[in-house]
Chains A and B, each alone.
Chain A
Amino acid sequence: MHADLGILRGQLEAIVGGAQVAAGIDQTALFAVDGVIPELVVRPGTQEEVAQVVATCYAAGAAMLPWGGGTAMGLGNPPPRVEVMIHLDRLDRIVEWDPANLCVTAEAGLRLGALQEILARDKAILPLDPPASHRLTLGGLVAANQSGPGRLLYGTVRDWLLGMRVVLPDGERIHCGGRVIKNVSGYDMNKLFIRSLGTLGIVTEVTFKLLPMPTVRAGVMGLFPELTQAWTAVKQALESFLLPEALDFLNPAAVTLLAPALGFQATAGSCGLAVALAGSPETVERQVHDFTALFRDGGGTVIPLPTERTSQAWEAIRNLLERASASNPARILCKIAVPIGRTGDLVAAAGRVGQNCGLQATVVAHAGSGVIWALYLPGSEVVPEERVVQALEGLRGKAVVAEGTLVLQNAPPALKRRVDAWGAPGDGFDVMRRLKLEFDPRGLCNPGRFVGGI
């Protein structure tokens, strides 16, 4: 590859213009993935240019990675090679915004936060709330299947994405789905690309269905001295008729981190439950009342998050782990997904990993969805890597026994070389491998980073 790099660079410059191709370590180092620095960074300005860039790289045998907002670049195994980083930030246009049909089409490089601002002017929302939404792009949202607390009521990307345009590894452009809310015209190709991490092509445009903005929002937070009290409250909430948008569990370390942002004093050792409520004034008021009662009766102290403070509070909760760790290269962030009823067990196990390894464990769980985020940061003592490896494998083992999985969302590359980011691929792996081989036989799209070495 190296010999032809100059030729490839010239070809790419002919497509996107010289100013949009960066080479040289001072410019490309910013785009390193797990320490691997790309040779070239290209910034196509249109979807057609993306197709030409991809086709050119494919023909040249260059390994390519898409870069959206860069918020999920830590997800996946360390790449064996990266030649061309395809930076999509110039693809940031709204293609069609149809408020009457609650449907929007936008290019993949548009930031989620920017989209939400545009939608809000017409009182609509895309009910997906991952962290770092001001940086996260729509393409990254889809390819890395990012989600947030609101998945309890609203689900994830697969529940809102109606259609997309994709550039396949050889540069061919295809269209999947459409812009109507029910569509079975052939296979559901959207599902092939959601959470595929750019290994089957590059998403260049997405169409989402939307919801009307709820009239009122509010929240309630409960602080519980005992873990079991919190999990009993979760169980009762899930068995009730109540329909919270989100129901997040926070371990004591998370409560301590959050306290300043929400302006309360955390009693040492208490864990928290935060509830987000949205809807009409009547249903929100009723739920605030019921959750307050439920938390109090369960032995909790209640901190109301009234309407005027609720969005700010949830902004803090959503971004808690990100803000506590984004600049720390030593951070280990695990996403554990288990059947809903096993969430409490795995939260406890995730906490013990911290104690056993001398790491500081901050754990937040989307309690009604079975999704747990465990952040580990180094404490005062230096821990042998071997112990961390064993502890993470042990935790993964527990998740697997509970019929779930553990994914390393972020970790130092050295650790990821010892603990696979995804865990053992399941039963369907043979089909996955053949899909990859069919669409990317040369293995050039985000190679080596995905499940089972795909």
Chain B
Amino acid sequence: MANKALVLELRQIVGRANVLDNMVNLQLYQYDAYLEEHRPDAVVFVHSTEEVAQVVQACNRHGLPFVPRGGGTNLSGGTIPFEGGVVIEMIHMNQLLEVDCSNLRARVQPGLFNLELGNALAPLGYQFLPDPASQKAATLGGNVAENSGGPHCFKYGVTTNHVLGLTVVLPDGQVVKLGGKAADPPGYDLTGLFVGSEGTFGICTEVVVKIVRLAEGVKTLLAIYDSIEAGSESVSAIVAAGMVPATLEMMDQLVIQAVEASLHCGLPLDCATVLLIEVDGLKDDLELQAKAIEDLCMAHGAREVRVAKDDAERALLWAGRRGAFGAVARLAPSFLVCDGTVPRTTLPQVLRKVAEVGRKYDLRIPNVFHAGDGNLHPLILFDWRDADQKARVLKAGMEILELCVAVGGTISGEHGVGLEKMEAMRLVLSEADLRSQRRVKQVFDPRNLANPGKIFPVPEEVLCAR
């Protein structure tokens, strides 16, 4: 239970009001958007790099683990304090430190929400490209730690492609500056290695990101289909035609119905799937691209293609997509989001098999996904109070990951491994691959204090010894 001496030390560092150690508050920090729960010993609100370093040093003195927490929107259990210890709440470190248009960079604190950065840049004519659907509530620190993607990643890449520098408090409390505003710093790419490390290499307290000009023009289309196959074949056809849309997102019927029930975006309730497509860039050929895409979709069996006429219509289409996860919450008390990624052309085949898995385990599985990236998000619906259902959900989830791997895909496209997919790691990594990753963890965090108990499955040697 809460270690009194540690709590005293923490209060000395951040002030009394910034440390929580009563049971009610601790219970609030024992879960995130995944299914497991573990209680921390204390929660600390930090306000500066210096405070983070001192808190981490205190954890070191007490040999207690720590877990950084941003918005808590990750879907893999990344912020659950699996071995207890201190949750370091980053949300007050939310300053936009600098917008440096002449160098096309911004410097931010990690607690800033992704959307807040976007909103600050847009009036200046700039943007930060990674845009997870959760951008309203997800922090840039969380984006960095998960290497988040988003609906615009097909054209523009994921978080790692837009992060150039980090200030990091290493797991022993040392502060280091990695990378910066300039390109190609000599030495190993520690910035790149840190992105996607899920809080297990330490805590980032400042991020230098690449910003770019807003596109001159955007066209948003919605293609409506009576069959899922036709929709996913259109995706491949668009890419095969040499086009690189910014967005290629799909939602199936169950999701559409849920979205309509809560957001009223004007999506047809009786179609099998819709494909949200956006092309952006110089305005000169956007009309032509939109027309070509419309023709391709129609040729591949679309029932109708709508083109957003203005910003209001565009916003409505996007509200539907961004609100999809939230809306699905209407359909069942809980859902598990799978995050497998497959080569794009295998989508029709994989979606058929996902449906079979649903039938096999008697579970409803709506789909909303980043089709251009081949990144599926089957949402397995269930009731968390029903233990039998929960067991079936976990089995179905694993089976879906297996079938993604079988066609050359992987177990996580953007949500991370966390607690959720530790055992699935063996589907894609050999013992040697896993060992090499553990060695990197060992270098960053020899005492295993930074977000322990995540990412790695139990080593084979240990399994054999059991």
A interface residue numbers (CB < 8 A to B): 98, 100-103, 123, 145, 147, 151, 155-156, 158-159, 168, 172-176, 178-192, 194-196, 200, 211-213, 215, 235, 238-243, 279-283, 285-287, 335, 337-342, 369-371, 402-405, 407, 422-423, 425-432, 434-435, 438-439, 450-452
Q: Once the chains bind, are B242 and A338 in contact (CB under 8 Å)?
A: no
Given A178-B428, A241-B216, A337-B182, A184:B244 Cβ within 8 A: no
B184 within 8 Å of A (CB atoms): yes
Interchain CB contact (< 8 A) of A435 among B103, B157, B434, B440: B440
What are 8 contact pairs spanning A and B, CB under 8 A? Answer: A173-B432, A184-B416, A212-B239, A403-B180, A404-B182, A431-B176, A432-B187, A451-B187
Interface residues in B, total, Cβ within 8 A = 88
Contact of A180 with B408 at beta-carbon distance under 8 Å, contacts A103-B343, A403-B181 already known: yes
A341 to B154, CA, bound (A): 29
Closest CB of chain B to A55's CB: distance in Å? 13
Question: Which B residues between 126 and 181 are near A, CB-CB below 8 angstroms?
Answer: 146-147, 149, 153-154, 157-158, 160-161, 170, 174, 176-178, 180-181
Per the 8 Å Cβ criterion, residues 414-466 of B in contact with A are 414-417, 421, 425, 428-430, 432-437, 439-444, 455
Do residues B413 and A182 form an inter-chain contact, with CB atoms below 8 A?
yes
Most buried by B among A156, A407, A426, A429: A426
Chain A residues near B180 (CB, 8 Å)? 403
Is A180 a contact of B341 with CB atoms below 8 Å?
A: yes
Q: Which B positions have Cβ atoms within 8 angstroms of A?
A: 100-105, 146-147, 149, 153-154, 157-158, 160-161, 170, 174, 176-178, 180-190, 192-193, 195-197, 213, 215-216, 236, 239-240, 242-244, 281-282, 284-285, 288-289, 341-345, 370, 373-375, 408-417, 421, 425, 428-430, 432-437, 439-444, 455
A173 to B413 CA separation, bound complex (whole angstroms) = 24
A181 to B146, CA, bound (A): 15
Q: Which residues of chain A come closer than 8 Å to B215, judged between CB atoms? A: 241
Are the C-beta atoms of B192 and A189 separated by less than 8 Å? Answer: no
Shortest distance from the beta carbon of B131 to any chain A beta carbon, whole Å? 14
A155 with B161: in contact, given A181-B374, A405-B185 (CB under 8 Å)?
A: yes
In whole angstroms, how far apart are the Cα atoms of A435 and B440 in the complex? 7
Option from B104, B157, B281, B374 in Cβ contact (under 8 Å) with A180? B374
**5 tightest Cβ-Cβ pairs between the two chains A and B:** A191-B192, A341-B102, A212-B242, A241-B216, A182-B413
Contacts known (A168-B436, A189-B436, A339-B103); A184 close to B414, Cβ less than 8 A = yes
Known: A185-B410, A192-B189. A175 touches B430 (CB 8 A): yes
Residue of A with least CB distance to B202: A431
> When the two chains form the complex, which single residue of A184, A215, A435 contacts B196, counting CB atoms closer than 8 Å?
A184
**Given the contacts A173-B432, A339-B103, A189 and B187 also touching, CB distance less than 8 Å:** no
Nearest CB in chain B: distance from A5 CB, A: 30
Residue of A101, A241, A279 touching B213 (CB-CB under 8 A): A241
Asked if A156 and B429 make an inter-chain contact with CB atoms under 8 angstroms apart, the answer reads: no
Closest A residue, CB atoms, query B165: A403
Q: A182-B153, A184-B414, A283-B284 given as contacts; is B187 within 8 A of A100 (CB)?
A: no
Known: A338-B182, A427-B176, A427-B178. A187 touches B197 (CB 8 A): yes
Whole-angstrom distance between the alpha carbons of A402 and B436 in the complex?
Answer: 36
Chain B residues near A123: list those with CB within 8 A.
242
- Which residue of A176, A179, A213, A435 is within 8 Å of B188 (Cβ)? A435
**Residues of B close to A435: CB separation below 8 A:** 188, 440, 443
Contact across chains for A182 and B158 when beta carbons are under 8 A apart: yes
B178 and A428 within 8 A (CB) = yes
Could you tell me the distance between the alpha carbons of A190 and B342 in the complex, rounded to whole angstroms?
A: 19
Per the bound structure, the CA–CA distance linking A239 and B212 in Å amounts to 9
**Other-chain contact of A158, B189, B289, B417, B433 (Cβ < 8 Å):** B189
Residue among B158, B289, B441 with max Cβ neighbours from chain A (10 Å) = B158
Question: B190 touching A185 by the CB < 8 A rule?
Answer: no
Please pick, from A168, A239, A281, A428, the residue contacting B187 in the complex, using a CB distance under 8 A: A428
- Indicate the member of A185, A403, A438 with the most B CB atoms within 10 Å: A185
Question: Complex formed: what's the CA distance from A178 to B429 in Å?
Answer: 10
Please tell me if the beta carbons of A426 and B187 are within 8 angstroms of each other in the complex. Answer: yes
Which of B103, B344, B428 interacts with A341 by CB under 8 Å? B103
A278 → chain B closest CB, angstroms: 12
- The reply to whether B455 and A186 form a contact with Cβ atoms under 8 Å apart is yes
The answer to whether A242 and B444 touch across the interface, beta carbons within 8 angstroms, is no
CA distance A404 to B183 in the complex (A): 8
Residues A185 and B182 in contact in the complex (CB < 8 Å), given A196-B188, A341-B102, A435-B443: no
- Are B185 and A191 in contact, CB atoms less than 8 angstroms apart? no
Q: How far is the CB of B423 from chain A (nearest CB, A)?
A: 12
Partner of A340, one of B103, B188, B197, B373: B103
A281 to B282, CA, bound (A): 12
A196 to B188, CA, bound (A): 6
Chain A residues, Cβ within 8 Å of B281: 243, 279, 283
Given the interface contacts A176-B433, A191-B189, does A403 sit within 8 Å of B161 by beta carbon?
no
B154 contacts across to A, CB distance below 8 A = 181
User: B437's contact among A189, A196, A423, by CB below 8 Å, is which?
Assistant: A189
Q: Which residues of B contact A188 (CB under 8 A)?
A: 147, 160, 192-193, 195-196
A185 in contact with B429 (CB, 8 Å): yes
Which residues of B lie under 8 Å from residue A283 when comparing CB positions? 281-282, 284-285
C-alpha spacing A101/B103, complex, angstroms: 34
B282 lies within 8 A of A101 (CB): no
Residues A183 and B341 in contact, CB atoms below 8 Å apart: yes
Distance (Å) between the CB of B439 and the closest chain A CB? 5
Q: What residues on B are CB-neighbors of A195 within 8 Å? A: 184, 188-189
Q: B428 contacts which chain A residues (CB < 8 A)?
A: 178, 185
Per the bound structure, the CA–CA distance linking A281 and B285 in Å amounts to 8
CB distance from B401 to the nearest CB of A (A): 10
B residues in contact with A404, CB < 8 Å: 182
Residues in chain B near residue A450, CB distance under 8 A: 187
5 new A-B pairs (CB below 8 Å) besides A158-B192, A239-B213? A184-B416, A212-B243, A402-B182, A428-B177, A428-B188
